[in-house]
């Protein structure tokens, strides 16, 4: 409340009364304004409107005190109205208070007889204003609490992980939408629901263990399969002031993707081991045959066997380097030396280096260029770029049946050189296309069966392209073919 003294309006048609009241009130420090009738009073109210109290004569020309009180209370309902009258009767007093007057001062009055009801009325006003403010404040807080709660509920409900809350009596008291989907039997039960509605002994055990845990906040984790999907369930006790658990909250996370990655990784290790063992076995076989004398005496035959061994050893070495490259790139140890590079020349050379491979499958491997600007150098590492395009063309040859077509095209748009490697091979489904660059991912179907690969080539390509501030995109459809486009910024 303002520390300033309240303003009081005195309305009386008798100048003597007006001045008398003013003097009494001003002697107490109140700010006083006067009006000679109701209309003048209302004008003052409308002009300033911050009167704390109005002392109103009951009998006035043009507008009587009761009507005036009614009207000023419409402008400001907090104003303390006091009626002054010489015709003090119970009826008028009742009528005035009905119109919202706080009190009633019979004329004539002593200064105290005026000041005491004024002071009381103003105190009352202050109290009622404060009470209203408190009420408003409380309502606002309640509203906030309510919206905070609904926010929490909305957040919990929108979580992709399933959330379950169980009380001390082992009843489900909360489940979010995801939990409902994972546990359909629990979803259809009314809350609180017995934990048996979870219909999963493993999950029930986990929750019971959690409820039984001591005052230490421990997370109980277990991998549980629900409806054929693997979930990691993390349950923690709800603890209040280090007491025994008053309940438990369990979060259910679908770990299908993680499991797939895990399987893919161990498959990858198996595959690498197999790929390493095959050439080693071949080399060992040749050496065995040569040393044991089974190979006979023909030096040409011996030479052939040694040459094959060398070839296999080199292929093995190349594979090991590819693995090391990827690991180095992953750990940031791959050294890239970016120099101005004529990409057109590099792509043409790389395409030619793959020709023998394409010829073996009687595939048509073509190279075309639509570069019209003179400067189409890119800032790039030559070995890295060779690796990128060799990999893409190798893939096209591998995943295109015999007698298919592979087109390598170079063009540019403003700041980029684009290299597209397009084939009319087996193509990929949209799902496989989305994952084509994923580490260890290999499309699996009857068409890809038997095509060797590590599932690392495209990961390597994408990492290299992005290291050069370029981008790679893919378009593919099953049975129609695949097109990879690499875009690299032209050097300034």
Q: What distance in Å separates the CA atoms of residue 58 and residue 44, rounded to the nearest whole number? A: 18
- Token representation of residue 300: 């040409």
Strands (E) located in 181-294? 193-194, 220-226, 229-238, 247-254
CB 341 within 8 A of CB 419: no
Cβ-based nearer residue to other proteins, 56 or 283: 283
Cβ-based nearer residue to other proteins, 3 or 292: 292
CB 363 within 8 A of CB 327: no
Q: Is the peptide bond before 108 cis (omega within 30 degrees of 0)?
A: yes
For residue 310, state whether it binds other proteins (rule: CB under 8 A).
Answer: no
For residue 269, state whether it binds other proteins (rule: CB under 8 A).
Answer: yes
* Range 278-297, binding other proteins (CB under 8 A): 278, 280-282, 284-286, 288-289, 292, 294-296
Helix, strand, coil percentages in the chain from 3-state DSSP, rounded to 5: 50, 25, 30
Cβ-based nearer residue to other proteins, 217 or 317: 317
* Range 421-460, binding other proteins (CB under 8 A): 449-450
Taking CA atoms, 114 is separated from 18, 26, 31, 107, 279, in Å, by 13, 12, 15, 9, 115
CB 250 within 8 A of CB 207: yes
Sign of CA dihedral 374, 379, 381, 384: negative
Site string for other proteins, 239-268 (x = CB under 8 A): ---------------------------xx-
The b/e string for 107-118 (b: 16+ C-beta within 10 A; e otherwise) is bebeeeebbebb
Stretch that binds other proteins, among 42-50, 61-69, 269-277, 478-486 (CB under 8 A): 269-277
Query: 152-161: which pairs have CB atoms within 8 A and are 24 or more residues apart?
Result: 160/254, 161/251, 161/252, 161/253, 161/254
CB 410 within 8 A of CB 343: yes
Cβ-based nearer residue to other proteins, 86 or 273: 273
CB 361 → other proteins: shortest distance, Å? 15
CB 423 → other proteins: shortest distance, Å? 21
Cβ-based nearer residue to other proteins, 106 or 455: 455
For residue 323, state whether it binds other proteins (rule: CB under 8 A).
Answer: no
The b/e string for 17-44 (b: 16+ C-beta within 10 A; e otherwise) is bbebbbebbeeeebebbbbbbbeebbeb
Cβ-based nearer residue to other proteins, 242 or 444: 444
Cβ-based nearer residue to other proteins, 292 or 331: 292
CB 289 → other proteins: shortest distance, Å? 5
For residue 312, state whether it binds other proteins (rule: CB under 8 A).
Answer: yes
Q: Quick one: which of 131, 155, 273, 320 contacts other proteins (CB under 8 A)?
A: 273
- The label of the residue with tokens 């792509």 reads 347
Of 367, 379, 380, residue with least CA distance to 411: 367
- Token representation of residue 439: 């580490």
Angle at 162 between CA 161 and CA 165, to 5 degrees: 130
Q: Quick one: which of 153, 185, 277, 314 contacts other proteins (CB under 8 A)?
A: 277
Report the DSSP pairing between strands 471-477 and 481-489: antiparallel
Site string for other proteins, 82-121 (x = CB under 8 A): ----------------------------------------
Cβ-based nearer residue to other proteins, 308 or 390: 308
Q: Quick one: which of 73, 253, 259, 308 contacts other proteins (CB under 8 A)?
A: 308
- The label of the residue with tokens 């486009």 reads 485
* Range 200-219, binding other proteins (CB under 8 A): none
Stretch that binds other proteins, among 152-160, 165-173, 304-312, 409-417 (CB under 8 A): 304-312
CB 450 → other proteins: shortest distance, Å? 3
Cβ-based nearer residue to other proteins, 155 or 273: 273
Cβ-based nearer residue to other proteins, 59 or 308: 308
Applying CB under 8 A, the site for other proteins has a residue count of 25
Q: Which residue ranges make up the site for other proteins (CB under 8 A)?
A: 266-267, 269-270, 273-274, 277-278, 280-282, 284-286, 288-289, 292, 294-296, 305, 308, 312, 449-450
């Amino acid at each position: 409340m303002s520390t300033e003294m309240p303003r009081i309006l005195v309305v009386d048609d008798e100048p003597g009364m007006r001045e008398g009241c003013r003097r009494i009130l001003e002697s107490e420090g109140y700010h006083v304004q006067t009006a000679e009738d109701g209309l003048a009073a209302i004008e003052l109210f409308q002009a300033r409107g911050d009167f704390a109290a109005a002392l109103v004569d009951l009998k006035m020309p043009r507008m009587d005190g009761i009507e005036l009180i009614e009207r000023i209370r419409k402008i400001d309902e907090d104003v303390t109205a006091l009626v002054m009258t010489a015709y003090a009767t119970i009826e008028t007093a009742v009528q005035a208070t009905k119109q919202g007057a706080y009190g009633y001062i019979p004329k004539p009055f002593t200064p105290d007889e005026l000041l005491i009801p004024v002071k009381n009325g103003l105190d009352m006003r202050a109290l009622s204003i404060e009470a209203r403010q408190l009420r408003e404040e409380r309502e606002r807080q309640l509203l906030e609490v309510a919206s905070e709660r609904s926010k929490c509920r909305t957040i919990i409900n929108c979580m992709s992980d399933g959330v379950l809350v169980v009380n001390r009596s082992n009843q489900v008291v909360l489940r979010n939408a995801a939990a409902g989907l994972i546990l359909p039997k629990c979803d259809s039960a009314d809350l609180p629901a017995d934990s048996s509605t979870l219909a999963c002994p493993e999950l029930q055990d986990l929750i019971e263990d959690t409820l039984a845990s001591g005052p230490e906040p421990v997370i109980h984790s277990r991998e549980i399969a629900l409806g054929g999907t693997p979930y990691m369930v993390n349950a923690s006790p709800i603890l209040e002031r280090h007491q025994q658990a008053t309940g438990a909250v369990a979060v259910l996370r679908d770990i299908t993707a993680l499991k797939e990655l895990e399987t893919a990784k161990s498959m990858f290790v198996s595959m690498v081991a197999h790929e390493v063992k095959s050439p080693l076995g071949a080399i060992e076989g040749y050496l065995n045959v040569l040393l044991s004398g089974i190979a006979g005496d023909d030096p040409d035959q011996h030479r052939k066997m040694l040459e094959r061994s060398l070839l296999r050893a080199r292929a093995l070495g190349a594979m090991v380097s590819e693995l090391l490259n990827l690991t180095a790139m992953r750990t940031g140890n791959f050294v890239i030396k970016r120099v101005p590079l004529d990409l057109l020349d590099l792509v043409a050379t790389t395409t030619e280096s793959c020709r023998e491979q394409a010829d073996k499958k009687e595939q048509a491997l073509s190279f075309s260029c639509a570069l019209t600007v003179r400067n189409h150098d890119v800032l790039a590492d030559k070995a890295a770029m060779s690796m990128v395009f060799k990999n893409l063309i190798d893939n096209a040859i591998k995943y295109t049946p015999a007698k298919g077509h592979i087109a390598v095209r170079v063009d540019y748009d403003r700041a980029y050189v684009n290299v597209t490697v397009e084939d009319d091979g087996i193509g990929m489904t949209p799902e496989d296309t989305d994952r084509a660059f994923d580490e260890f991912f290999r499309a699996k179907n009857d068409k890809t069966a038997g095509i060797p690969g590590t599932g690392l080539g495209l990961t390597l390509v994408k990492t290299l392209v992005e290291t050069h501030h370029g981008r790679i995109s893919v378009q593919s459809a099953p049975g129609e073919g695949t097109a990879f486009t690499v875009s690299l910024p032209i050097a300034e």
